[in-house]
């Protein structure tokens, strides 16, 4: 199996998902407001399938979602990672700060580290973030990361999305 490498930032540890992270994923998918950017509410069995497929993504693509934890506390604070399932236009970087962890810069710090990993360790030259219209918090974070709106497209799973293009590594230097 392809293990997720550990990424460490000033405040965070990004590690591979483990079984105990599922409860936070299930709670996220049970919330109709918070889950809208990831497809909306899912019952536990379908949330489990999403969680399992995100772990399988590591094996199939060699990258995926990391679980975000605070240093010194292994509680799942969110997820951030690289996602490119069948039907996606290209790899994207996505993020979620779980309830109680929003507004602390966690998603920004994690996304910055994941993007740097994608560009350096994985050799990506660009990334997108595919954002559901109206998800103002994710749009603001994408723009804070330097991503620019490129186009609207129809996502095979999510319907209409806005594609934000992240700057290439050389453009950020």
* pLDDT attached to residue 87: 87
Q: Are 26 and 45 in contact (CB under 8 A)?
A: no
Question: Which strand ranges, in their side-by-side order, compose the sheet holding 92-97?
Answer: 7-8, 12-15, 65-70, 73-83, 92-97, 128-131, 159-165, 148-155
**Higher per-residue pLDDT: 97 or 170:** 97
Confidence of residue 3 (pLDDT cuts 50, 70, 90): confident
Tens of pLDDT, residue by residue over 119-155, are 999 999 999 999 999 999 999 999 999 999 999 999 8
| pLDDT (average), residues 19-39 | 94
Q: Are 18 and 4 in contact (CB under 8 A)?
A: no
pTM score, whole prediction: 0.94
Picking from 17, 20, 47, the residue whose alpha carbon sits closest to that of residue 31 is 47
* pLDDT attached to residue 17: 96
Tens of pLDDT, residue by residue over 67-76, are 999 999 999 9
Place of tokens 């620019």: 148
């Amino acid at each position: 199996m392809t293990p997720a490498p550990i990424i460490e930032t000033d405040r965070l540890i990004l590690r591979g998902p483990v079984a105990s992270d599922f409860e936070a994923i299930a709670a996220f998918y049970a919330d109709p407001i918070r889950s809208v950017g990831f497809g909306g509410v899912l019952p536990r069995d379908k949330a489990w399938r999403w969680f399992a497929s995100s772990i399988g993504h590591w094996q199939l693509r060699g990258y995926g979602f990391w679980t975000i934890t605070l240093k010194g506390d292994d509680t799942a604070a969110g997820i951030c990672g690289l996602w490119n399932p069948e039907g996606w236009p290209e790899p994207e970087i996505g993020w979620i700060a779980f309830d109680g962890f929003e507004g602390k810069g966690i998603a920004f710090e994690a996304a910055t580290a994941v993007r740097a990993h994608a560009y350096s360790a994985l050799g990506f030259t660009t990334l997108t973030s595919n954002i559901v219209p109206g998800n103002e918090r994710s749009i603001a974070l994408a723009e804070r990361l330097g991503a620019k709106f490129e186009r609207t497209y129809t996502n095979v799973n999510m319907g209409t999305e806005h594609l934000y293009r992240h700057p290439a590594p050389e453009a950020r230097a």
